Amino acid sequence: MAGGGDRARSFNPILFADLARKNFGSREDTLKNTITTLLLTTAALAVMSSAALAQNLPKKIGYVANYSTHEWYQNVIKGMEARATELGIEFEMRDANLDVARMVSASEDFMAEGVDVLIVTPVNEEGAVPLVRRAKEDGVPLVLEGNPVTGMTTMVAICDYDTGYHAGVAAGEYAKEKLGGVAKVMNVGLPLLSATVLRSNGFMDGLKTILPDAAMVHDLDGGGNPDRALEVSSAALAQNGDINIIYGINDSSSQGGLQAWKAAGKSQDGLLVVGTGGEGLGFINMMDTEPSYQIEAAMFPEKVGFTSIDAAVKLFNNEAVPAHIVSPTAPMVGTDSWKQFYSLEGTTRTINWEAVNAITPAEKCMKTAADL
């Protein structure tokens, strides 16, 4: 112990510091130089990675919509434009206007012009089969939106059956509580597309899980547009008005059905209207002003558009993608339920991305077109 104390008292800190500087100074300089080199290398790698990322983004994406004047597709396009702008990708849309020949010609024009990726919403599935084949032959990555086509690589879409099913469950619960447990349905459908057939089937199946005796009184072809929906619904109600639930495969269909009901001079007491889509401002106005419009199966078109661009980038980079990239849906129940997912200022609605992104998409659809 005494010897250790003597050594401690004889220690000269000034002399030690001087020796340390002489012996280790060169090492300190070497360390500084090494750190500087590493920082410069890291910065250079970051620049290279950014450049590589930019090179892996397509320069231009072309989108052929089937009906761009519809609110649903207008909001899908907004989602596409927003994501493409965020990524610095040129984006162009052309409209088929529900014409198969125009869908094919617009798609072929895009491919001839050298777009890096093509996105198409099929006017109908059979008419798009040659287009899918042509894109593969030409080596053009093709993302389908909404409807499956034989031979496709991938499709971005909701689970249509599931969307209808969960709306049907909500309608059954509503009818059980407020309609005396009776459910007599007028389905304003669209048999042209498997997606819309799945919605109608899902709705009835979901409804019957709550009310097994639920009946479909009218199964209509509303054409997916309000004028046709109004026309066929008016004719059906004139023939048999004994219904208490109107289900529409999109918002135009449900709104046309309700318009026909009102035009017939019927009270909305004891009536439930269920819409599908959450396509634009129409369903918000209906939920705010029409007492029977209590359920909306929201499909968030902006999210579909956003996801379609991401799918296009993945295909451009030859990444593996599932045949069906599922976009989330959720039933909105009650007058103010839309406010959870959207805000409205004037005539501009803004999606609440945090709320929508919190919805977990189904890993697998309950039923698909293959089950029809």
What is the full DSSP assignment across 141-167? -EEEESS--TT-SEEEE--HHHHHHHH
pLDDT tens digits, one per residue of 188-202? 999 988 889 999 999
DSSP codes of every residue in 75-86 = HHHHHHHHHHHH
Residue 209 lies in a domain: yes
Same domain, 63 and 101: yes
User: Which of 157, 178, 205 is the C-terminal boundary of a domain?
Assistant: 157
Tell which residue, 123, 254, 125, has the closest CA to residue 194: 125
pLDDT beyond 70 at 312: yes
Provide the pairing of β-strand 272-277 with 60-65. Answer: unpaired
Quick check: 168 and 203 in contact, CB under 8 A? Answer: yes
Q: 40 or 229, which is more confident?
A: 229
Residue 281 lies in a domain: yes
- What percent of the chain clears pLDDT 90, i.e. is strictly above it? 77
Same domain, 152 and 164: no
Same domain, 239 and 343: yes
pTM, whole model, 2 decimals?
A: 0.76
What is the domain range of residue 137?
Answer: 56-157
Same domain, 109 and 245: no
Residue 107 lies in a domain: yes
Residue 138 lies in a domain: yes
pLDDT of 71: 82
pLDDT beyond 70 at 126: yes
User: Which of 157, 175, 207 is the C-terminal boundary of a domain?
Assistant: 157
CATH code of 64's domain: 3.40.50.2300
